[in-house]
Homo-oligomer: A and B are copies of this chain.
Amino acid sequence: MIRLAVVDDHPIVIQGIVSLINNFDNMMVTGSFQTGNELISFLENNKLDIVLLDIMLPDINGIELCAQVKRLSPSTAVIAISNHTERSIIMQILQNGACGYILKNASVEELKNCIETVLNGELAFSKEVIEIIAKPSVNDLKGRAKFTKREKEILLLIAQGKTTASIADELFLSPLTVETHRRNMMQKLDVKNSIELINLATEQLLI
Which residues of A come within 8 Å of B, CB atoms?
Answer: 9-20, 34, 81, 104-108, 111, 158-161, 163, 191-199
Could you tell me if B163 and A108 are in contact, using CB atoms closer than 8 angstroms?
A: no
A83's nearest neighbour on chain B, judged by CB, is B10
Q: Are B19 and A105 in contact (CB under 8 A)?
A: no
Contacts of A106 in B (CB 8 A): 11-12
A-side interface mostly:
helix
Of chain B, the residue at the smallest CB distance from A161 is B196
A-B CB proximity, top 5 nearest: A19-B19, A16-B16, A161-B196, A15-B16, A12-B16
Selected A-B contacts with CB under 8 Å, 28 pairs: A9-B105, A10-B13, A10-B104, A11-B16, A11-B105, A11-B107, A12-B13, A12-B16, A12-B17, A12-B81, A12-B106, A13-B16, A13-B104, A15-B15, A15-B17, A15-B20, A16-B17, A18-B19, A158-B195, A159-B195, A161-B191, A161-B195, A161-B196, A161-B197, A161-B199, A194-B195, A195-B195, A195-B198
Interface centre among A11, A20, A111, A158 (most CB of B within 10 A): A11
Min C-beta distance of A201 to chain B, whole Å: 11
Q: Measured between alpha carbons, how far is A14 from B111 in the docked complex, in Å?
A: 14
A14–B11 touching, CB < 8 Å: no
Determine the distance from Cα of A9 to Cα of B105 in the docked complex, in whole angstroms.
Answer: 6
Complex contact A12–B111 (CB within 8 A): yes
**Which among A19, A160, A163 has the highest number of chain B CB atoms within 10 Å?**
A19
Closest chain-B Cβ to A191's Cβ sits at a distance in Å of 7
